[in-house]
Amino acid sequence: MQSVIYKRIPQCPADLLAEVAKYPVSDLHEALGPVEGRMQLMSSRMRPIAPGQRIAGQAVTSYNFPGDNLMIHAALNVAQRGQVLVLVNGGGAHGSLWGDVAATFAKQKGIAGIIVDGPARDVAALRELGSLTWSTSISSSHPEKRGPGAVNVPIVCDGVRVDPGDVIVADDDGALAIPLRSLERAVKGARERNRKEIELRDRLKTGSSLFELLQMDKNVQAAGAEIRDTLWIDG
């Protein structure tokens, strides 16, 4: 494998990037639709190292040979303020990809966050630093720094294809990779969902029924469910 490091990523409109940061992963996931939304949502294994974290920014991708993390350093070197590092090693649990020393430098550079499909370590120190890190595993295992690998090429992160420049949004609910071609649609859909949910919560606070507001009776009827005003034991 020929190692390669690309220094640039496609740029997206600043106004869309600013707005996407306002919405939760759940709304953006729903806005992408039932097919693309599932395709771009990382699994429940991808978790933040501390609660209450949230990031949004364009992806700088790093593919690392299993057990090696040379290319995370190359990615960190070319990444710019506000971007998100997406680090992968094929999902292996050995050879930590991310730790507190790299996180210290990332914070100094203004990196928005880190997504790790593989192990992170120095978790207590990362939390103390306020490093906005998501990972699929935790392990102290030693990483080599030999390569091969690549920076800013398409990768697969926790089952999701991530191209350089894709917009990564992550919070307590998980992590989502939004392709640039779908960003405007995701933002528009999340904006509308957010508006409707604000209205819905306001009506619930005044005593309205969620079942009635969502017209769940139609869904129940379509599902063919019988409603019986008896105890289950009475049939």
- Taken in order of first residue, the domains within the chain and their CATH numbers are 4-189 (3.50.30.40)
CA distances, 2 to each of 65, 76, 149, 165, 210 (Å): 12, 20, 8, 22, 57
Q: What's residue 47's pLDDT?
A: 97
Quick check: pTM over 0.85?
A: yes
Residues flagged as binding site for substrate: 99-102, 121
What pLDDT does 92 receive? 86
According to the model, what pLDDT value does residue 213 have? 86
Binding site per annotation, positions = 99-102, 121-122
User: Distance of alpha carbon 56 from its chain centroid, rounded?
Assistant: 8
pLDDT recorded at residue 195: 92
Residue 65 burial by CB count (10 A; 0-12/13-18/19+): exposed, middle or buried? buried
Q: Which DSSP state fits 234? A: G
What type of residue is 229?
Answer: D
Cβ-contact 31, 185 below 8 angstroms: yes
Known binding residues for Mg(2+): 122
Separation between Cα atoms, residue 159 and residue 46, nearest integer Å: 11
* pLDDT for residue 234: 86
Tokens of 74: 């190359």
Mean pLDDT by 10 residues, the chain (235 residues): 94 95 97 97 97 97 96 97 97 92 97 97 97 97 95 98 98 98 97 92 92 89 91 85
Contact (CB, 8 A) for 114 and 48: no
